[in-house]
Chain A
């Protein structure tokens, strides 16, 4: 029975493990430290006005990026702990319970709290600038998305010290994730935080689809649009159709757990296989959601640093769209072994292999974009080049896994683990790091150091092969995933040891990457041109960082690679058209609404984790009031006066 007063479970604050005590102490210290610094330097007002209430897509991009890197660190630490435990057979570094929690949070964080915000950081920094827009279609909603993500990530990470982490795997299959086998609050943390961040992701998908379809500069037809924006369009469409399914699956499982329903319990007519299907109907498109933007980034980077038009633009667009359609027809390949008939397995096997066709085409088009180009091996380009062999191998093992009868031998083994890390790290992570180095000057006005960046690249890329190639072999030797320990007589020892060493090298690579960021804040070369890479698309026509209204005058586009063709024309001596007179610019006002809304979501989510229904209901009420207030608020926009634009432009361009 729900009581009015919250009931605190015995394990409310997690105890009993030095790692967790360490985390608790460092969380308290970091919080105190942040509060102190903000107060001491009188930065509270600055924080609120410049960041917490901002609706500027460029600032939201910065916040997404910082959050993604933090979560990359958390997920990476999880990975290091797991690899340390598996370094040798019969290790006693972690207990089974802790190992189970760690692989669960590793997977969940890397996909939903690292990859998603990382792609959203790239969406936000690049799309409006590339298509010649002044912001996204719904700037307020954009801020809502970010803060929902942020507080969902906070809620999820809180489980480590309060209540206990989820431990049923990132897929959280019932019945293991049901009340019977997992009564603690950990699973509730998982369900509620994913639910909250899912709302944010859904809104981002809608936001960017509308932005791309409705807000392109005059003359920028779809077939003149940069390929990154195309990839964001494809990814947004996937988000819009896939995330509602996750919402439903999580909601039903939550009702099972909180209210004792039986959607997925088997008892009384439920069926856990339904959850598995729903999860992967979202889950498979999800991997394309995070990889298509990476494809887009590779297209931009390869074309820019080869000094050449992208090869087979129409093919690239066609393959993006084909992949986004096929990706809905693949979900059963995550459970060929769940006993579907041979007809079903055959259909999904062939569909899965066929997704390799458009993907292969993209790889060849990147290769032939470089062909007869002039390849500058900058750090973004290194990540893009290194992506190709990794993704070729990862794609090949993907096709191998697609063959259903062969999959019976790979399923849930380390072969599978190696495959999806190969495509997700080689694809998404390499892509996002390429994008980060590429757009960093546009975001912050200075370059990341190339020399340190190369070190980070070689460590991470080299460590990658050492970590994951042995795992293919381990899979073929019969080692299954999610084992916290293994016997010494299976012949797995050497390969596990090598894999762990590789993981450490990747960890060092990540630290060097962070060092690069820290070093460059102070010593990074300032980007005074706005076009440090000799770019091709419109974002490089703007000063770095761009003014808050982006374009003083909305450009008119006459071709693909609009900025590049403009530069070529000017180099040939064509006089640019005289600038049109400035107009006042219509911009959205900052608002604290999104931040407050997300705080209420967080409070309500935290309440429901512990079955505190009163808190949940109060939060629901608060959310409704917040939405109502927003709908009644008509003072949401303003015009930037011409004098201010002239002043800003003169300062930025130093002209």
Chain B
């Protein structure tokens, strides 16, 4: 028989436990000490790891540079606060209960083996999570709808077509008629409409400091609004596994003031080679490449890749493309 619940003190009434308290003052037992020190140790470790990683500079999700990332960060902060309202009391209550009602001889805490119902308590803990979910749900719905629209309505958006290839990213600028591989330059303070697709396995396009990701899928054109309000070089990476070279699918988004961006476009147009159909086929071929720029690209690369595998499931997205074309033509 282990740890007997068959000890006499188990079925003891409250009075008896009071008596035994007088006879037997509660012990502050050493055996539990390691449990108590566990939580601070954990906190210290978390703090240590924060310090060793440069005091938060590296937490890209918490360092947004544009309105989309900002909306997402605010929602994250809100959700953290709301869930802490539940988990802190739960953890404190757990420590308290386990400590107070542990089965040691002479424990004076009441023992009430038949007490198992309390409507008041149950209403409280069905109620509080419902309220929390209600609040978080409302903000979530608001932001979900909000993020499908351009971040700022004042500035005209810039469109960039993004294709995930094995294992590199191709960026095409239908308005500027230039293309880049594994890096993408954008102007600051202007909404960017990324149109995402893939010519290969499905990937996900993620630039944490600009904002959250969206899948890039073959035969689909997906829209993702992002914007940078501060110039800088921002890390991006594929987020959905695409095979052997996936770990090397990093790219940079370089945000510059408008004039510098225009100068960069002019420079690419002047200096860089042309992306021909054959050149594109070479890019589609699996492999890892260094960043590249192209002064022009064979027309219809993006659309052909999109449609070659049947566009029958994307009527809605074709209208997106139409709009792009119309604007590109004007």
Contact = CB atoms under 8 A, between A and B. Distances in A.
Given A345-B144, A363-B90, A482 B215 contact: no
Nearest to A355: B133
Contacts of A311: 115-118
Contact of A494 (B49, B90, B98): B49
From A100, A268, A406, A476, residue with most partner B Cβ within 10 Å: A406
A266 B3 contact: no
B241 interface: yes
B18 to A, nearest CB: 15
A188 to B, nearest CB: 17
B44 interface: no
Contact of A476 (B61, B215, B242): B61
B111 A411 contact: no
Contacts of A73: none
A403 interface: yes
A399 B112 contact: no
Interface stretch (B52-60, B173-181, B183-191, B256-264): B52-60
Contacts of A370: 97-98, 101
Interface string A171-213: 0010110000110000000000000000000000000000000
16 contacts: A96-B244, A167-B243, A173-B201, A173-B202, A350-B133, A388-B90, A389-B87, A392-B86, A392-B91, A399-B79, A409-B69, A411-B212, A412-B241, A477-B61, A481-B241, A498-B45
Contact of A337 (B73, B110, B215): B215
B25 to A, nearest CB: 18
Contacts of A181: 166, 200-201, 243
Contact of B2 (A309, A313, A450, A485): A450
Contacts of B112: 308, 372-373
A482 B246 contact: yes
Nearest to A403: B140
A339 B113 contact: no
A585 interface: no
Given A370-B101, A409-B212, A478-B208, A307 B94 contact: no
A466 B80 CA distance: 21
A477 B63 CA distance: 10
Nearest to A366: B94
Which 10 residue pairs spanning A and B have beta carbons closest together? Answer: A408-B212, A491-B58, A396-B83, A176-B201, A309-B116, A534-B5, A372-B112, A483-B247, A266-B309, A482-B241
A176 B202 CA distance: 7
B208 to A, nearest CB: 4
Interface string B276-304: 00000000000000000000000000000
Interface in A520-550: 525, 529, 532-534
Interface string A463-479: 00110011001011110
Given A350-B133, A372-B110, A404 B144 contact: yes
A433 B116 CA distance: 26
Contacts of B34: 458
A376 B103 contact: yes
Do most interface residues of chain A lie in helix, strand or loop, or is the interface mixed? helix
A165 interface: no
Nearest to A265: B309
Q: What class of interface size applies to chain B in its complex with A?
A: 35 or more
A356 B49 contact: no
Contacts of B118: 311-312, 368
Contact of B101 (A169, A373, A462): A373
A555 interface: no
A483 B246 contact: yes
Contacts of B239: 337, 411-413, 480
Given A346-B140, A396-B83, A375 B98 contact: yes
Interface residues of A, number: 112
A431 B148 CA distance: 41
A642 B40 CA distance: 62
B49 A473 contact: yes
From B71, B136, B139, B240, residue with most partner A Cβ within 10 Å: B240
Nearest to A389: B91
Contacts of B171: none
Interface in B86-115: 86-87, 90-91, 93-94, 97-98, 101-103, 107, 109-115
B134 to A, nearest CB: 9
Contacts of A406: 72, 75-76, 79, 140, 212
Contact of A396 (B86, B98, B222): B86
B328 interface: no
Contacts of B33: none
B24 to A, nearest CB: 15
From B50, B61, B90, B250, residue with most partner A Cβ within 10 Å: B90
B213 A337 contact: yes
Contacts of B273: none
Contact of B122 (A272, A308, A315, A350): A315
A584 B240 CA distance: 61
Contacts of A392: 86-87, 90-91
B235 A100 contact: no
Contacts of A176: 201-202, 241-243
A337 B139 CA distance: 18
From A269, A346, A532, residue with most partner B Cβ within 10 Å: A346
